[in-house]
Amino acid sequence: MRTPRTVLSFLLFVGLPGLASSAPPEWLSKEEVAAGFEALADGTSLDGWKHAGNWSIKDGEIARTGPGGSLVYVKRKVPDDFELRFEWKVAKGSNSGVYYRPGQYEYQILHNAGHSNGTNPRTTAASLYFCMAPSKDVTKPLGEWNTARIVCQGTVIQHWLNGERVVDFDYTDERFADNVELLRLRGGKLADRGANLSLQDHGDPVWYRRLRIRKVDPKEDIGHENVTPAAIPAKEREAERKKIEGILKRRQHSQAKPFTGKKSAWNGYDRYDFTVAGKPVLVVVPKKVAAGRPWVWHGEFFGHKPEPDIALLGRGFHIVYTRIPNMLGCPDAVAHWDKVHDHLVTQHGLAKKVALVGLSRGGLYCYNWAIANPEKVACIYGDAPVCDFKSWPGGRGEGKGSPRDWKLVLETYGFANDAEALAYDGNPVDRLAPLAEAKVPLLHVYGDADAVVPWDENTGIVAERYRKLGGDITLIAKPGVGHHPHGLKDPTPIVEFIAKHSR
């Protein structure tokens, strides 16, 4: 048999030193006093609260009066199981919140009709912000007081608004796993306990009054019954996805580890040489890192025609080179690039999407890795790039090829003979669709008299096929120029292309 709620709450009330108010304010009803409620403000002072002078209380109303931060109740922490009651109102477009457990536990306070958060039920008034939407909008007209309740017992969370229970769920219930995961990604853990109550300063006018709290017995019947949250429109779900992506990116960047290894200088910038999975990697670090921590990754021939790299370092880019020569972009090379990318992103906080630079044979490395990982590519700059090993080193077109490097193709790709290699349909020119679907922009600079890597067998085919797939490719031809010299006399178009698409 359950102990009657009022009797049990009263025993808790009188049995916990310091929890009850010695002189309850007039607005605290006899029933609430008997139930164990404690007033968190007496209506005339903010004793027990901490703030930066930007909150005031008058005639029982707590108001945010200016910038300075949240109003925090420091007298004691919120009990693990509790009921909090309060009233609130907002001005036009205002946003605030009541934080009652560690991290991202927030009862959202909002003018739904006047704020951008009002378009997503999961961030509207009375929601468990960015986790659980209320079942419906029952806010009062602007300027009127809303009554609110938060009830937490064990793993059950209830939010009430104007007498209606609009959120009620058990966060261990698998039906709400996606909601819990969404809050976790934002930085909240629903199992956390032991916070100070906090009224958020979001930069907007907001008013609170009649805040009172009581401990809830773990065995008390709080009338738990799952409430179906309002549906989230597809547009808002996409906005949530982008928001989480941004949060994770910023978190990753803030946790980035500094580079170590052999330190040297490269054109006035710090260079670090180290290994990943036993292979050499070098990183040149900008003096001031750009927002988002963008980077450039060379397929081959790092340091040749360095002007674009130097300019991008000045804009805050990292420059990276993975030295695995003689692998010609084979599957093992792609697998190793996967390890390097993972290391640089997870350990050093570099951007998930990278600008690839494929100079000559470096095109095979860049394009083959990009095709396997289109979601990780910001853009590709190819400089007289090899896009089909049958052209070079195979020499099966107009170019003379390279017998030594053709032998490397057979060895590294695992072909039994020439015929098997020539029948291969996995060259970059054959597999451009993933890049086009991911809308990866391409820039190719080439000499139209290139007899080593003929442009029409490589860049020309890529351009024709990529455009047919709906892809975006820019071509810069150098009339009468062969395979060398690489680059442009004025590297500005290259620098601007990479900078534009790495934002």
What is the pLDDT averaged over residues 408-424? Answer: 97
How many structural domains are present in the chain? 2
What is residue 380's predicted lDDT score, i.e. its pLDDT? Answer: 98
The neighbour count for residue 203, using CB atoms within 10 Å, is 12
Tens of pLDDT, residues 439-471: 999 999 999 999 999 999 999 999 999 999 999
H/E element, 446: strand 442-447
Secondary structure of residue 246 in the 3-state scheme: helix
Decide if 17 is inside a domain: no
Residue 160 three-state SS: strand
Does residue 362 contact residue 486 with C-beta atoms inside 8 Å? Answer: no
Count of residues in the chain: 503
Has residue 7 got a pLDDT over 80? Answer: no
In degrees and rounded to multiples of 5, residue 65 shows phi and psi of -110, -5
The mean per-residue pLDDT over the stretch 352-377 comes to: 98
With a CB cutoff of 8 Å and minimum separation 6, the contacts of 90 are 96, 109, 110, 111, 142, 204, 205, 206, 207
Residue written as token pair 């709906």: 470
**Nearest to residue 112, comparing CAs of 96, 132, 100, 131?**
96
492/371 same-domain check: yes
Dist CA 175 CA 171 (whole Å)? 9
Alpha helices in 318-398 (DSSP H): 331-348, 362-372
Are 290 and 189 in the same domain? no
Q: Does residue 279 sit in the same domain as residue 387?
A: yes
Asked if 324 and 381 count as a contact pair (C-beta separation under 8 A), the reply is no
- Select from 400, 477, 481 the least CA-distant residue to 445: 477
Average pLDDT over every residue of 381-403: 97
Cα separation values, 129 from 18, 62, 97, Å: 31, 22, 9
Last residue of a domain, one of 201, 228, 251: 251
Q: Indicate if the pLDDT at residue 17 is higher than 50.
A: no
The yes-or-no verdict on residue 245 having pLDDT over 90 is no
Helix (H) or strand (E) holding 435: helix 433-437
Residue 287 lies in a domain: yes
Are 144 and 271 part of one and the same domain?
Answer: no
Residue 455 lies in a domain: yes
Q: Are residues 262 and 228 in the same domain?
A: no
| Residues 324 and 414 grouped into a single domain | yes
Q: Is the domain of 190 the same as that of 215?
A: yes
Q: Which of 210, 231, 251 is the last residue of a domain?
A: 251
CA 488 to chain centre: 36
| DSSP single-letter state for residue 230 | P
Residues 350 and 318 sit within 8 Å (Cβ to Cβ): yes
Higher pLDDT, 103 or 150: 150
Positive or negative: CA dihedral 57, 58, 64, 67: negative
Q: Residue 367 in 3-state DSSP?
A: helix
CATH number, domain at 439?
Answer: 3.40.50.1820
The closest alpha carbon to 213, from 75, 45, 51, 104, belongs to 75
262 lies in the same domain as 190: no
Helix axes 331-348, 403-413, angle to 10 degrees: 70
pLDDT of residue 192: 93
User: Which neighbouring-strand residues pair with 280?
Assistant: 275
The answer to whether 335 touches 341, Cβ cutoff 8 Å, is no
Same domain assignment for residues 85 and 214: yes
Distances (CA, A) of 215 to 78, 85, 169: 9, 12, 19
Produce one character per residue of 450-479: b if its CB has 16 or more CB atoms within 10 Å, e if not: bebbbbebbbbbbbebbeeeebebeeeebe
Is residue 241 situated within a structural domain? Answer: yes
Give yes or no: residues 104 and 137 share one domain: yes
28 in any annotated domain: no
Residue whose pair of structure tokens reads 């999961």 in the numeric block: 122
pLDDT in tens, 52-73: 999 999 999 999 999 999 999 9
Indicate if the pLDDT at residue 340 is higher than 50.
yes
Q: 33 in a domain, yes or no?
A: no
264 and 391 share a domain? yes
Domain ranges, residue 244: 40-251
State the average pLDDT over residues 104-131. Answer: 96
Q: Is 31 within a domain?
A: no
Residue 11: pLDDT over 50: no
CATH number (domain holding residue 137): 2.60.120.560
**Mind giving me the DSSP string for 45-71?**
--TTEE-SS-EEEETTEEEE-SSS--E
- The owner of tokens 């993975």 is 322
**Closest C-alpha among 464, 469, 460, 416 to residue 440:** 469
User: Which residue among 225, 251, 277 closes a domain?
Assistant: 251
Element (H, E) at 184: helix 177-186
pLDDT beyond 90 at 437: yes
88 & 168 share domain:
yes
Please name every residue paired with 230 in a beta bridge, in sequence order, or none if there are none: none
Q: In this model, does residue 149 exceed pLDDT 80?
A: yes
- CA-to-CA distance for 376 and 263, rounded, in angstroms? 28
Inter-residue contact 154 to 218 (CB < 8 Å): yes
The kind and range of the H/E element at 136 are none
Q: How confident is the model at residue 434 (pLDDT cuts 50, 70, 90)?
A: very high
- Which pTM value belongs to this model? 0.61
Q: In three state form, how does the secondary structure of 285-317 look?
A: ECCCCCCCCCEEEECCCCCCCCHHHHHHHHCCC
Residue 411 included in any domain:
yes
